[in-house]
Structure 1
């Protein structure tokens, strides 16, 4: 569905993703503006909609994308065999810092996505939560 967005060169893709994360995290789904997302990512609104279909599709894409990033770049890298609690805390902290460095608003966005009251988004998040696909923060 979002192959155009995913196959962009990483700098442009990350600019769009981070602009969208910032806008949705700070304003929520309903008040977020695709105009702001396009402007902050340095592209036209028309080009943004060339990569995505609708604001809802972008939000739901980000929801899935963020869960995948957190799984691969955070949870999958935690050494659960480490018995020293302080060392494990240090390790998880450093992993979290790495994720935040790449996607500064990722954790805020996930919280907003899980708490949104917009029906079309809430249904999707609810199904994912029910199926255990949600990263619990």
Structure 2
């Protein structure tokens, strides 16, 4: 790719990312046109090809950038000074909500990319599939305080439940403003409070 892309102001870089994420989220690789992406980004098609030599290079750049974002989020999400299960979960969801606000179609893009079968790009996608959508589950299970739980053996099952609930809460948020997202975060935290009452010992039932 042309290094001139990285010399663009950050808002213009983000615009090029979001335009690609949106069109490739709405359409499979073969049907998403560079002309439509350029129109979405409000730039000429020739300028888009100035930054990226072809559609494949642009798509893989979007994919790698999405994975990097998620990987950075995973690293930031594991605060080894925080060992409370529900605090860690809430912080993770808050970070994901911010990412959806900044890059609204990123999650839809990587979900579609995961199942992309076109041989032109599939081998490249397969190389990095294993870290898709990870948020540090293993690290979280290693640092949480199991003494707070009534039944420590339930923790892995609880984590699976909570992550499913979180994914459900974050679907369809692409068009919401930040205040509406904050409402969703409050709703999620209320659900976590309910689960906490069921899974935590009485002495640890402090409001999140």
TM-score (norm: length of structure 2): 0.60
Shift of 1:70: 1.4
Q: Is residue 121 of structure 1 aligned with residue 121 of structure 2?
A: yes
- What are the ranges of 5 or more consecutive residues in structure 1 without an aligned counterpart? none
Question: Which residue in 1 is equivalent to 2:27?
Answer: 27
Question: Which residue in 2 is equivalent to 1:69?
Answer: 69
Alpha-carbon distance change, 93 to 111 in structure 1, aligned in 2, over 3 angstroms: same
Counterparts of 2:42 and 2:57 in 1: how far apart (Å)?
A: 20
- What are the ranges of 5 or more consecutive residues in structure 2 without an aligned counterpart? 135-208
Counterparts of 2:60 and 2:105 in 1: how far apart (Å)?
A: 16
Counterparts of 2:33 and 2:124 in 1: how far apart (Å)?
A: 21
Q: Is residue 5 of structure 1 aligned with residue 2 of structure 2?
A: no
Shift of 1:83: 2.6
Shift of 1:121: 1.1
**1:48-90 CA deviation, whole Å, 9 max, x = no partner?**
1001111111101111111111112x11111353332221111
SS in 2 for 1:120: coil
Counterparts of 1:3 and 1:9 in 2: how far apart (Å)?
A: 13
Counterparts of 1:2 and 1:63 in 2: how far apart (Å)?
A: 17
Runs of 4+ in 1 over 4 A off after TM superposition: none
Counterparts of 1:92 and 1:44 in 2: how far apart (Å)?
A: 38
SS in 1 for 2:28: helix
Question: Which residue in 2 is equivalent to 1:78?
Answer: 77
Question: Per chain length, whose mean CA-contact separation is higher, i.e. which structure has more relative contact order (CA < 8 Å, sep 6+)?
Answer: 1
Counterparts of 2:123 and 2:2 in 1: how far apart (Å)?
A: 20
**1:18-66 CA deviation, whole Å, 9 max, x = no partner?**
0110000010211111111111111000111001111111101111111
Question: Which residue in 1 is equivalent to 2:90?
Answer: 90
RMSD: 1.5
CA contact (8 A) 1:70 1:99 kept: no
Counterparts of 1:114 and 1:80 in 2: how far apart (Å)?
A: 29
